[in-house]
A and B are shown apart, each in its own frame.
Chain A
């Protein structure tokens, strides 16, 4: 008999595609309710101080305004800091919206106008006048370096002796790389719609990467245990901005509790610059190599900005201790607290900045040694993560270099900077390595065989554009030998089985493994039920003989000893199984990571300094790829982000005002269609039986890592100019 081909590994179209192309997909700020009220937030105009008076009368007198919420009339909320800690909280005391009269950063929400329609609310906001007791603020990282303190991060111990090794190295570099503040700017602004029920319970549609994170947070701070359900069926991009509950959620809940009515709060694009972001940081790299290109020493020292109330840390320097073989390594990390909001994980947090600096410095050292950049990396290759003292469970990075270089025609590159040109344009080719962790978190899932024979699988996880709906459907369909049309995957609901935050590229690894396990558990239950039936053709046989093929359960290869799944549930009723999954023990002895090799070609106008990326090849080793189509899109998206990081993105602050000045999409530049280069994504074969049951590592982050370095290295190759501060704009190239 011909068994259906497994859908895992197939480039299936997104199962939620039709909803997205017809406008039927509904996002957090699009759910309606009779009598829905609209909240519009008032943002502070100063960076630090106290609110003396909020003149709200004029706003309150506007017909249609129902409430002006401030710290003076807000509902009761928890006093202790702990209550505000969410699953992605940084070290310290989280920000508490409308808690008191303190202003901690420019743009902080200080009031919410709630009105019968959006326009009235917005108009009334403009009528509110605020008197402040202004205190002096500090927002400039580089003016405050002397206030840096050790970051509360567990960095790997230093190994060897960096100074001694540098002294003995034939070539050394000592360079500083700087990266600016960047904002996530998902296309969907953050929004929360709160439905209020007569019993005081709430159903909240929230823009979040963790429905249960938002749920627990709201329950804790408002004392609403067991009364909150959070849904997020569609999320219009997040990239980390939804990892922590944002203030529009708190404000909407406050208004809803006060008025006992449904309330929606949607942030404006300007307000999308009033919470987390990628932090500005300085990175100094001291590195040494022998004449034959062996790394002798790496010291990576990071100074990043954080807020006054939380110490935000990410893995910035770690990559320098694990990507190559090097016996003398020292990693350092310190933070400078400023009068700004706390930074927040943003696509490949830490690696985007840290690997940019490391891989740019690697290029500098390769040039110093006089080696080809790929050869230099191969000379220092390792299968061992010296930070953890463990071998990698799999690492096909060599294949990434080889296949990426071949596709890119790297051998056509001439080594000398400024040696390649076409007309008035200088041509530059650069490359870099990318790396990201392959993590797995505890997760649960439920699988149910419904009375119509559909397999329904659920988890509280979200789909922020990553393809979760689709890949989970594929995993479940494969487990049951069912066509994907007969599988329905449900997500984005805090009442579903427990899921970790959707981030860090661990959704397939964590939730996918749980889905697979739930399906296995359900199979046994179905068999248990089916074999009890009168005259069951499945009465004999052992678990090992079970086959789920073409919508049937049978013993071995004999269809006569089998039953259609519909027939089983028709008699036995719906059957379900819920399981808890956790990272396998086999992982403990290994380090796990995804890798990539990124190759970039740039063209620089010699006279004008204008710069374009014309070609990128990204070769990725990420274990088994469940859906090459959606995974390819993830990598493409990451590469586009890398182009933004390299050439465009920078949130500029006026330090006199302590305020962002380009807080809109016209002045905060992100890549557009015309910036998109020819882009080749390669997934190299990588088998990994240790990382998780699926052998799949996740691809949300790896796409961006290394891209900015590859582009910067290409700019150097084109122009002979090493720009060490992002973004690489034409004024820096000229």
Chain B
């Protein structure tokens, strides 16, 4: 899949060929050296589930999982991730069921406008993958890079607390 339009007007900037697995699907992509992972997703691939709240690493709305770990996709360049496995909010649910973290967010009303939500959920799933956040205080501290202007923090906390053990495979849903 070709991710970009040909350089307009004979622009001779180098494009780089990278291969990226996104939500389990392999992509061969031509990217410019300055394209962030976030813009690659949102603008080139029309995967707009990952949000842009600041473009400066200050809000967490763009959080995705690279090889299972949390990363602010606005702060990293796409070319740096050749060969990586990327998971975005679009890749968490299975065909017929929400991911346990997603289901917990719905159950606890852990969002209002929903704009910070993909980032919150990816962060929380990342915490599970990384084996972190084993207490309420740790959840609050480690989720603090994900701003929610709607102020859904306590419900997010409750959702994360409930779903983390399930995500770690420690309990049942």
Binding site for B on A (CB under 8 A): 13-14, 16-27, 30, 32, 63-64, 116-120, 185-189, 234-239, 266, 268-269, 464-467, 629-630, 632-634, 636-641, 664-666, 670-676, 679
CB within 8 Å for A236 and B54 given contacts A23-B49, A633-B152, A636-B154: no
A64 to chain B: which residues have CB within 8 Å? Answer: 7-9, 11
13 contacts between A and B (CB under 8 A): A17-B106, A21-B98, A64-B7, A117-B43, A120-B8, A188-B115, A237-B113, A237-B149, A238-B113, A466-B112, A638-B151, A665-B54, A666-B56
B114 touches A234 (CB 8 A): yes
Q: Is A637 in contact with B152, judged by CB distance below 8 angstroms? A: yes
Q: Closest residue of chain B to A630, judged by CB?
A: B109
Closest chain A CB from B36 CB (angstroms): 9
B72 at the interface (CB under 8 A from A): no
Q: Are B144 and A673 in contact (CB under 8 A)?
A: yes
Closest B residue to A637 by beta carbon equals: B151
Instruction: Check if A673 sits within 8 Å of B143, measured CB to CB.
Output: yes
Q: How close is A248's CB to chain B, nearest CB, in angstroms?
A: 14
Of the four ranges (under 10, 10 to 19, 20 to 34, 35 or more), the interface on chain B belongs to: 35 or more
Contact flags (1/0) for B39-69 with A, using CB distance below 8 Å?
A: 1001100111111111110110100000000
Q: Is B155's CB within 8 Å of the partner chain A?
A: yes
| CB of B135 within 8 Å of the partner chain | no
Chain A contacts of B11 at CB under 8 A? Answer: 63-64
Please list the 3 inter-chain residue pairs (A to B) with the smallest Cβ-Cβ separation, ordered nearest first. Answer: A23-B49, A63-B9, A640-B151
Say yes or no: A23 contacts B48, CB within 8 Å: yes
Looking at the assembled complex, report how far the CB atom of B140 sits from the nearest CB atom of chain A, in whole angstroms: 5
Whether A465 lies near B59 (C-beta < 8 A) is no
Which residue of the partner chain, among A22, A268, A467, A640, contacts B89 with CB atoms under 8 Å? A22
Say if the beta carbon of B146 comes within 8 Å of chain A.
yes
Q: Which residue of B lies closest to A36 (CB)?
A: B43
Give the residues in chain A near B121, CB-CB below 8 Å: 21
Also in contact, A187 and B51, with CB within 8 A (given A23-B88, A236-B113): yes
B34 is contacted by which of A14, A119, A676 (Cβ under 8 Å)? Answer: A119
Bound state CA distance, A467 and B114, in angstroms?
11
CB neighbours of A671 from chain B (8 A): 151, 153
A674 and B58 within 8 A (CB): no
Q: Which of B10, B48, B111 contacts A21 (CB 8 A)?
A: B111
Q: B27 an interface residue at 8 Å Cβ cutoff? A: no
Chain B residues within an 8 Å CB radius of A464: 113
- Interface pair B112/A17, CB less than 8 Å apart: no
Bound: A120/B7 CA distance, A:
10
Q: Residues of A contacting B156 with CB < 8 Å?
A: 673
- Say whether, besides A119-B34, A674-B144, A21 and B53 are in contact (CB < 8 Å): no
Contact of A676 among B48, B102, B114, B157 (CB under 8 A): B157
- Dominant secondary structure of chain A at its interface with chain B: loop
**Shortest distance between the CB of B89 and any CB in chain A (Å):** 4
Residue among A22, A238, A673, A679 with most chain B CB within 10 A: A673
**Partner pick for A119 among B39, B58, B90, CB 8 A cutoff:** B39
Nearest CB on B from A484, distance (A): 14
Q: Which residues of A contact B53 (CB under 8 A)?
A: 187-189, 269, 665
Nearest opposing residue in chain B for A66, CB measure: B8
Cβ of B75 within 8 Å of any chain A Cβ, yes or no, is no
Q: What CA separation (Å) do A234 and B139 show in the bound complex?
A: 28
Please pick, from B49, B56, B58, the residue contacting A24 in the complex, using a CB distance under 8 A. Answer: B49
Complex interface: chain A residues within 8 A of B115 (CB): 27, 186-188, 236-237
A23-B112 in contact (CB<8A) = no
Q: With A22-B98, A64-B8, A187-B149 in contact, do A236 and B114 touch (Cβ < 8 Å)?
A: yes
User: A18-B98, A24-B49, A675-B153 provided; 19 other pairs, C-beta below 8 A?
Assistant: A20-B117, A27-B48, A27-B115, A63-B8, A187-B148, A189-B53, A236-B115, A266-B52, A269-B54, A464-B113, A465-B111, A465-B114, A465-B150, A633-B112, A633-B152, A637-B152, A664-B58, A673-B157, A676-B153
Question: What residue of chain A has the Cβ atom nearest to residue B57's Cβ?
Answer: A666
- Distance (Å) between the CB of B143 and the closest chain A CB? 4
Which A residue's beta carbon lies closest to that of B115? A236
Please state if A21 and B102 are interface contacts (CB–CB under 8 Å): yes
Q: B141 near A673 (CB under 8 angstroms)? A: yes
* A16 contacts B114, C-beta separation under 8 Å: yes
CA distance A269 to B55 in the complex (A): 8
* Cα–Cα distance between A119 and B32 once the two chains are bound (Å): 10
B10 touches A63 (CB 8 A): yes
B107 touching A23, Cβ below 8 Å: no
CB distance from A74 to the nearest CB of B (A): 24
Q: B107, B114, B155: which contacts A20 (Cβ < 8 A)?
A: B114
Nearest CB on B from A600, distance (A): 15
Q: Which of B10, B39, B111, B140 has the most CB of A within 10 A?
A: B111
**Cα of A239 to Cα of B150 in the assembled complex, Å:** 9
CA separation between A335 and B125, bound complex, in Å? 50
Q: Which residues of B contact A116 (CB under 8 A)?
A: 5, 8
What number of residue pairs across chains A and B have CB atoms under 8 A from each other? 187
Interface set of B (CB-CB < 8 Å, partner A): 4-5, 7-11, 32, 34-35, 39, 42-43, 46-56, 58-59, 61, 88-90, 92-93, 98, 102-103, 105-107, 109, 111-118, 121, 139-141, 143-157
Least Cβ distance of B40 to chain A in Å?
11
User: What's the nearest-Cβ distance from chain A to residue B11, in Å?
Assistant: 5
A14's partner among B32, B42, B106, B149 (CB-CB below 8 A) is B106
Q: Is the CB of B48 within 8 A of A14?
A: no
Q: Which of A63, A636, A673 is within 8 Å of B7, CB to CB?
A: A63
Which B residues touch A20, using CB under 8 A? 111, 114, 117
- Which residue from A27, A633, A638, A672 sits with its C-beta under 8 Å from B155? A633
With contacts A27-B115, A236-B115, A665-B58 taken as known, whether A672 is within 8 angstroms of B48 at the C-beta atoms is no
- In Å, the complex CA distance between A189 and B54 comes to 8
Alpha-carbon separation in the docked complex, A17 to B147 (Å): 19
Could you say which residues of chain B place their CB within 8 Å of the CB of A236?
A: 51, 113-115
User: Which B residue's beta carbon lies closest to that of A641?
Assistant: B151
Partner of A18, one of B32, B106, B145: B106
Docked complex Cα distance between A624 and B5 (Å): 54
Contact A237 B98 (CB under 8 A): no
Complex interface: chain A residues within 8 A of B151 (CB): 636-641, 671, 676
Contact A13 B107 (CB under 8 A): yes
Complex CA distance for A17 and B140, rounded to whole angstroms: 23
| B43 closest partner in A (C-beta) | A118
Chain A residues near B49: list those with CB within 8 A: 22-24
- Which residue from chain B places its CB closest to the CB of A16 in the assembled complex? B114
| Complex: A86 Cα to B11 Cα, angstroms | 43
Question: How many angstroms from the CA of A186 to the CA of B52 in the assembled complex?
Answer: 12
* Among candidates B7, B46, B109, residue contacting A13 with C-beta atoms closer than 8 Å: B109
Residues of B within 8 A of A117 (CB): 4-5, 43
**Which chain A residue lies CB-closest to B50?**
A23
Question: In the bound complex, what is the Cα–Cα distance between A64 and B105 (angstroms)?
Answer: 42
Give the chain B neighbours of A118 by CB distance below 8 A: 39, 43
- Which of chain B's residues have a CB closer than 8 A to the CB of A23? 47-50, 88-90, 118
B167 to chain A, nearest CB (A): 14
| CB closest residue in chain A, given B90 | A23
Q: Which residue of A lies closest to B105 (CB)?
A: A21
Quick one: given A120-B8, A636-B155, are A235 and B113 in contact (CB under 8 Å)? yes
Complex formed: what's the CA distance from A408 to B157 in Å?
21
Q: How far is the CA of A235 from the CA of B11 in the complex (A)?
A: 37
Is there an interface contact between A664 and B56, defined as CB atoms closer than 8 Å? Answer: yes
Query: Across the interface, which residues of A come within 8 angstroms of B152, CB to CB?
Result: 633, 636-637
Contact assessment for B90 and A187 in the assembled complex, using a CB-CB cutoff below 8 Å: no
Given A23-B49, A23-B88, does the pair A269, B56 have CB atoms closer than 8 Å? yes
B53 smallest CB distance to A (angstroms):
5
CA separation between A636 and B98, bound complex, in Å? 26
**Is A465 within 8 A of B106, CB to CB?**
no
Chain A residue numbers with a CB within 8 Å of B117 are 20-21
Q: How far is the CA of A673 from the CA of B139 in the complex (A)?
A: 8
Nearest residue (CB) in B for A239 is B149
- Nearest B residue (CB) for A32: B46
CB-CB nearest in chain A for B36: A119
Contact of B52 (CB < 8 Å), options: A17, A189, A636: A189
